[in-house]
Structure 1
Amino acid sequence: MVGAPPSLVRSAWALSVDLRTRPTKPTSTEKNFPMHLPIDDRFIHELPADPDRSNRRRQVHQAAFSYVTPRVPSKPQLLHAAPDVAAMIGLNADDIQSEMFARVFSGAVVPDGADPYAMCYGGHQFGSWAGQLGDGRAINIAEVKHDDRHWMLQLKGAGETPYSRTADGLAVLRSSLREHLCSEAMYHLGVATTRSLSLITTGDAVLRDVMYDGHPEYEPGAVVCRVAPSFIRFGSFQILASRGEHDLLRQLADYTIQHYFPEIATGEAGYVEFFRQVTQRTLAMIIDWQRVGFVHGVMNTDNMSIHGATIDYGPYGWLEGYDHAWTPNTTDRQQRRYRYGNQPQIALWNLAQLASALVPLVGDAEPLREVLAEFQTAFPVQYAAMMAAKLGLDEPIDGDETLFEDLEQLLHLTETDMTIFFRRLASVGREHAIGEGIDFLEPIADAFYAPAELSGEVLERWRSWFTAYVQRLQASEPSDADRARRMNGVNPKYVLRNYMAQMAIDKATAGDVSLIHELYELLKTPYAEQPEHENWFAKRPDWARDKVGCSMLSCSS
């Protein structure tokens, strides 16, 4: 077992021989259960279930979900929990520190009154219809209601389900740590997202081929507990429409509207309005992705939430050098379907697939096409408003589109760090001197990876842009101080760069979780200056440029 430390070798051996003797059903909750979860399961009580309660892999018809039994991990250990997410579902600090917390949120113990399940859905993957997909390594342990808000709790990596196909339903520390930190980072950036309650290692080793190059190695297993209002996806509707299960399709749509869009009346017009709201929320999410430089990497329709929230953090990434053609996904390196600059178009394409699934309920595709047209009209308007905010301008005016387009072209001429550039730009004011030399670029100099390239035509194009930008600032209302404050409220100083996550992974794999805690605290206030953490406000180091986990990633997790 090349690459596995001795402790993992022992766990891997146990994993390979002990599954037949280890209990396959989590232990029932003991009396005096020390942690109360306010369980309020709706999905399984209001929608039809698969009658087969086994975990065996199969095609599931006429059902929205299948009951499953989470796999019992060997030795669950809590690495990190998000206290505010715990409070959101009715738990406190004592609950987090209890032994039962790690057992419940690793799948070892099923809370009293819960009945875990996996959801059935389909989807288009990389543009091709894949048929039934479903929760292959995600298990919903329960829904809870706290402070009049409803949450679904989902364990990712807790074992196989009927939808696992040829996979084992497990997850590794590497991908789980990335999802845990990024979910919370995105929330604090103001981007719609699922949340992450906890990161727990299982004590078992999981075999993965990280780069799909025929060299699998054992890695530490882990489970993340994801939290969201629901995990209903575009693909939840697609699978039912594709099979002609229209009664269940209508039932799912009515359920979704009733609980998550209660202001909408059911009926044909209601289904159109539901689609319109999903479209608007999706558009808002995409605008925020572009604003902070986030690239999802796997925008398949089964990875699109009806809540317009970021879901399924796989091979995601953050722009280092500003590049519309960049994708973090090795699987997508040839086609680059899910590259940064294509995310708005892919969102529209995915929405069109959801629209197709809703046609049997609406009876006419035209109203749904009109909603898609609204997306196409609204996107450039909202994108321009976003770019204006990033540049500290008032509402966009005539001529700003050229200013935005010229800037995006310039950012491609030489490798320029997106986060540092926009953050540093806030220090440029109305009286900024352009001059004849290169000093006018001093405020943003730290953003350039190859400053020697700032000469000749490239330099003159930057000079021209800065001249136009300063003139635009002089024509806008905000003072320099007010404009800088506004810019620093939309341009984060700190994001979870891939190399930062990889450093935390390397340390955690060696038994040191301190960097997980440090990054979690850092990313809770990404727009604050935090001078004590200035070391994280820096370009990607050279060693991370081509290192696995720091540039492109695979779907292997």
Structure 2
Amino acid sequence: MQLNIKNTFNTELPSDANTENNRRQVSEATHSYVNPRIPSSPKLVHASKEMVNAIGLDDEAIKSNDFLEIFSGSKIYPKTKPYAMAYAGHQFGNWAGQLGDGRAINLFEVEQNNQRWAIQLKGSGETPYSRQGDGLAVLRSSIREYLCSEAMYHLGVPTTRALSLMLSGDDVLRDMLYNGNADYEKGAIVARVAPSFIRFGNFELFAARNDIKNLQKLTDYTIKHFYPELGNPSKDTYIKFFEAVTQRTLDMIIHWQRVGFVHGVMNTDNMSILGLTIDYGPYGWLEDFDFGWTPNTTDKQNKRYRFGNQPNIGLWNLLQLANALYPLVEEAEPFETILNQYQTDFEKQSLDMMRSKLGLQVELEDDAKLIQNFEDCLVLSETDMTIAFRLLASYKKDNPDHGIDIIENAFYKPEEIIKDNLKQWKVWFKAYDQRLQKETITDSERQKNMNAVNPKYVLRNYMAQLAIDKADKGDYGLIDELFKVLKKPYDEQPKHEKWFAKRPEWARYKVGCSMLSCSS
């Protein structure tokens, strides 16, 4: 198995002089060298051929013993030195100090077709940054990460990717709901891939320690390899760097809002410097349209990371990054200008995104009111977001009285769409119909446009849980089925129509289908 290894992070940046694998505070270093724990009996569950090819391997490589050994952590690829990254972060709004890769180990970087890929194993054992954890992951959370990162990519959402999913052969003790009922689960390892796994927290760590020398080294490295268009290091370049990260972060969050994705743990250590969705923990898709929903049990009370607050949290996290980069610029005004622009850009881009979801191409002043009124209708009764928007695409002009019939299957309790609720919906469809008269495209063209931004298939929590339940019994067929369905989320796929359905009633309160913890 031949890979074009081109390591930069652990060759151009300072490493931890201490090579022992024990928990500690690590100073003046971006990473610590550590080898993955050798799993007792690794087994390949699934691999993404798309990503296997992207890193320079052919499909046959998946069947090789080398593939199994390298991407399970059983063997170190020749002339490479695995490492864990050092970073800090704000968790739920509070400064948490040093965090780091507690259960991820970076294997190496590959260059293929002028694209750089960093490959890391999640669930491959303890590192100096594991704190009280064991550095392992369970099959449950690993299936969720493996399926979701690939599903997000095909939805058009900026994201890290997944290469492979493996069983370790070892049991892992987890208290899934943090209620004192720990139990053993199957251990697993995900090989995940991204141009870089650098986070906001990498910069925060050095800034918090007033280690300006290494803060600058890290920033210069990041610009050199991932933002080369910004030019050579200078104060002006650092400002442009922050602006570029801000734009990428906003773009990512707009996509989250478009498809109804809720990250669940938007801590600064879970924010990619490349604007990629990273660290798939207790995420979820909106089923009923609810700005206040969060999938994270830890966030149940305060709902800091609820769906409707994600754009605000993006801004808050960017402010923390600005604070970290400030010592390189020593002027607050440029950062403030960029952060203010984020808010302006969000309003415009969010409006444009919602226009596209409703099939509106012409920009009119009253569109914001039409969109607001639609959202008001969606919350009158429990209404499935994905299904409602997808069905709305088939609406035909000059038929407002039948609009409600078009989206009826999106209602969890259709019997509630009566009296005032029904009247409000009818008023909206009449306004929508009048608005569509001002468009120049045909109904079929509008439907095509809407179906390109409103997915038919998303990874609902109950779908992932069904795959997990089967995998626990050694049946991985549903993982493969969902993997294939989610590669074409905007296509009709008649054979898979059963996945275009509201959450079943049995899943409403089932563990893993409604709320999830950070336990993995």
Rounded to whole Å, the distance in 2 between the matches of 1:396 and 1:97 is 53
Matched, 1:282 2:249: yes
Corresponding position of 1:238? 204
Rounded to whole Å, the distance in 2 between the matches of 1:378 and 1:395 is 19
Corresponding position of 2:300? 333
- Identify the match of residue 115 of structure 1 among 62, 81, 90: 81
Rounded to whole Å, the distance in 2 between the matches of 1:137 and 1:433 is 54
1:490 Cα deviation (Å)?
A: 0.2
Rounded to whole Å, the distance in 1 between the matches of 2:273 and 2:390 is 32
Rounded to whole Å, the distance in 2 between the matches of 1:513 and 1:346 is 36
Deviations 1:367-401 (A, max 9, x none): 01110011011001000000000000014311000
- Identify the match of residue 448 of structure 1 among 411, 417, 424: 411
Rounded to whole Å, the distance in 2 between the matches of 1:443 and 1:122 is 49
Identity fraction in percent: 59
8 Å CA contact 1:241–1:249 kept in 2: the answer is: yes
Rounded to whole Å, the distance in 2 between the matches of 1:102 and 1:450 is 48
1:431 Cα deviation (Å)?
A: 2.1
Q: Map 1:329-408 to 2 at 5 A.
A: 329-408=296-375
Q: CA RMSD in A?
A: 0.7
1:100 Cα deviation (Å)?
A: 1.9
Rounded to whole Å, the distance in 2 between the matches of 1:148 and 1:481 is 40
Corresponding position of 1:64? 30
**Secondary structure of the residue that 1:269 maps to in structure 2?**
helix
Corresponding position of 2:171? 205
Q: What amino acid is aligned across from residue 294 of structure 1 in structure 2?
A: F
Corresponding position of 1:474? 437
Matched, 1:509 2:472: yes
1:155 Cα deviation (Å)?
A: 0.3
**Secondary structure of the residue that 2:167 maps to in structure 1?**
strand
Corresponding position of 2:13? 47
Rounded to whole Å, the distance in 2 between the matches of 1:139 and 1:167 is 14
- Identify the match of residue 462 of structure 2 among 499, 510, 521: 499
Rounded to whole Å, the distance in 2 between the matches of 1:216 and 1:433 is 54
- Identify the match of residue 483 of structure 1 among 419, 425, 446: 446
8 Å CA contact 2:149–2:159 kept in 1: the answer is: yes
Matched, 1:268 2:235: yes
Matched, 1:135 2:101: yes
8 Å CA contact 2:362–2:439 kept in 1: the answer is: no
Matched, 1:545 2:512: no
**Secondary structure of the residue that 2:489 maps to in structure 1?**
coil
Q: What amino acid is aligned across from residue 271 of structure 1 in structure 2?
A: Y
Matched, 1:172 2:138: yes
Rounded to whole Å, the distance in 1 between the matches of 2:272 and 2:386 is 27
> Please, which runs of 5 or more residues in structure 1 have no aligned partner?
1-34
Corresponding position of 1:28? none
1:477 Cα deviation (Å)?
A: 1.4
8 Å CA contact 1:385–1:395 kept in 2: the answer is: no
Q: What amino acid is aligned across from residue 309 of structure 1 in structure 2?
A: L
Q: Map 1:141-220 to 2 at 5 A.
A: 141-220=107-186
Deviations 1:80-118 (A, max 9, x none): 000010100011111101122121111111101110000
8 Å CA contact 1:429–1:473 kept in 2: the answer is: no
Matched, 1:461 2:428: no
Q: What amino acid is aligned across from residue 203 of structure 2 in structure 1?
A: F
Q: Map 1:310-329 to 2 at 5 A.
A: 310-329=277-296
1:440 Cα deviation (Å)?
A: 3.5
Rounded to whole Å, the distance in 1 between the matches of 2:505 and 2:3 is 47
8 Å CA contact 2:400–2:426 kept in 1: the answer is: no
**Secondary structure of the residue that 2:516 maps to in structure 1?**
coil
Corresponding position of 2:273? 306
- Identify the match of residue 187 of structure 2 among 212, 217, 221: 221
**Secondary structure of the residue that 1:483 maps to in structure 2?**
helix
Q: What amino acid is aligned across from residue 461 of structure 1 in structure 2?
A: Q
Deviates more, 1:302-311 or 1:439-448: 439-448
Q: What amino acid is aligned across from residue 494 of structure 1 in structure 2?
A: Y
Q: Map 1:16-55 to 2 at 5 A.
A: 35-55=1-21
Rounded to whole Å, the distance in 2 between the matches of 1:419 and 1:440 is 17
Rounded to whole Å, the distance in 2 between the matches of 1:324 and 1:484 is 26
Deviations 1:410-456 (A, max 9, x none): 1111000000000000111212241xxxx441110100000011011
The number of aligned residues is 519
Corresponding position of 1:4? none
> Please, which runs of 5 or more residues in structure 2 have no aligned partner?
none
Corresponding position of 1:525? 488
Deviations 1:346-371 (A, max 9, x none): 00000000000000001111101110
Deviates more, 1:35-44 or 1:80-89: 35-44
TM-score scaled by structure 1?
Answer: 0.93
Structure 1's consecutive aligned runs of 4 or more residues displaced over 2 angstroms after TM superposition are none
Deviates more, 1:183-192 or 1:392-401: 392-401
Rounded to whole Å, the distance in 1 between the matches of 2:229 and 2:329 is 18
